Amino acid sequence: MARRIGHPWVARIRQSALVSALPSADLVDGLVAALGGDASRVSAGDSDRDLHSEDMTFHHPVRPDVVVYPTATHEVSAVLALADRHRVPVTPFGAGSSLEGHVIPVAGGISIDLTRMDRIVAVEPENLLAVVQAGVTRNALNRAAGEHGLQFPVDPGADATLGGMAATNASGTTTVRYGKMRAQVLALEAVLPGGRVIRTGSHAPKTSAGYDLTSLLVGSEGTLAVITALTLRLHGIPEHVVAARISFPTLDAAVRCAVAAVSVGAGVTRIELVDTLNMTAINLYSGTSYPEVPCLLVEAAGTRASVDGDLELVLALAEAEGAVDVAHERAAEARSRLWSARHDAAYSWSQLWPGMRHCSTDTCVPVSQLAGAVALAQAELERLGLRGGILGHVGDGNFHVGVTLDPDDAEEVSRWHQLSDALVRDALARGGTCTGEHGIGLGKVGALALEHPDLLPLYRGVKGVFDPHGIMNPGKVVPGDADNPASG
């Protein structure tokens, strides 16, 4: 049985007027010419098309017609000029680690893989910035920046490409201290449909010049342009870092402690919530032996005095909430092992339910509303009988609910959609948002329509200016009215 996508309207996109006007052989030949005659970087083979048909979600994979691997901006320009001229859909692809179907080419066409655009153009320690091509990964940048005592702090878990992180406005465990991807991008280079290359921003630390197109393209999820290069802020590596793992008798106690820590101004770098189910899965996957109860993973960074003060404050709050176990990790290797275990949470579920697919949704609420939102999520998981757990970057009110399911089981998939809808509606009622970091992509088009119905005409207007022929990542964020499930 074919895996269900959960969005029947996607089939209408696939069957719409947005299809290649070129026979497949002519399309491949045109793309080879666009890449300077290098046929090795244009592939219509089954393995390449399969690798670019899905991301880390349970959404039904859809193959592109062809995959291209540019290495320079002028090649991206040539590909988009060809695509726009012949109305061929284009879906940008990085590491493929997105969580809302962003890179699934639901209309077929071209998957443009940017991973070979992996050159670090410059590291300027005196200006606290780096210039990179879009395919550079965050770990590669951190290795280069580390030689100058600097770091790029945004940590979504996966070793994602920086272009992909910008396109989805990624965040992660350090957002409570450093902010999201948008706060780190000073300037960018992007290619518009039709092949025009634009450059926004500058190397200056701030600007008030004109409309902020840099921030518009950061988070646009490949629906407006292809980001090809970025100028990014770098930050100093703190002199002293300590992580603490604090275990609690209940999930509610852990959440209350996190909220209190933020409310009193504890200057932590990370404060992560992990529930019992996730701790159990982590132990099985990572070979660790952490207590299998809800916990907070907390990190403080700075001077020794500031770190000791921040941790003392958090631990006092934890004691007031009945913390049952506290462990400090001061050595770099031990801290790395702790955070690796946290990042492996999604992968670890395969140890508990082999053969099932893991899917995750996120919402974000004001920190004062976090305890109620997490309690609602717990109750909905139990009501719907789903195999699921909760974790999140609770220092900024962002939490994730993950479940494992059989994508061939229509009834189970339906319960997953019920859960996601309930979480979104609850977050909006609390003054929050349908997604804090996963983005809209394919999976939350309806949620965006629910959150900002009055803004949809403006969103479509922006889309129309940048992408008048609708070739850029169709079906994502704000599809046309005919394909928008919220419009039916």
pLDDT 10s digits, 338-393:
888 888 887 787 777 888 888 889 999 999 999 999 999 999 999 999 999 999 88
C-alpha closest to that of 48 among 31, 73, 72: 31
- Which class is 120-236 in CATH? alpha beta
CATH topology match: 240-346 vs 353-429: yes
> In this predicted model, what pLDDT tens digit does every residue of 11-47 receive, in sequence order?
445 444 444 445 577 889 999 999 999 999 999 999 9
Q: How buried is residue 8: exposed, middle or buried, by Cβ count under 10 Å (0-12/13-18/19+)? A: exposed
Q: Could you tell me the fold of the domain covering 9-113?
A: 3.30.43
d(CA 319, CA 260): 12
Q: Could you tell me the fold of the domain covering 353-429?
A: Alpha-Beta Plaits (3.30.70)
Select the highest-mean-pLDDT range: 152-156, 223-227, 337-341, 353-357.
223-227
**CATH code of the domain made up of 240-346:** 3.30.70.2190
Assigned token pair, 399 = 């939490």
Domain boundaries, the chain: 9-113, 120-236, 240-346, 353-429, 445-487
Q: What angle do CA 131, 120, 100 make, to 5 degrees?
A: 80
Which range is least confidently modeled, 18-27, 46-55, 294-303?
A: 18-27
> Model pTM?
0.91
What's residue 347's pLDDT?
77
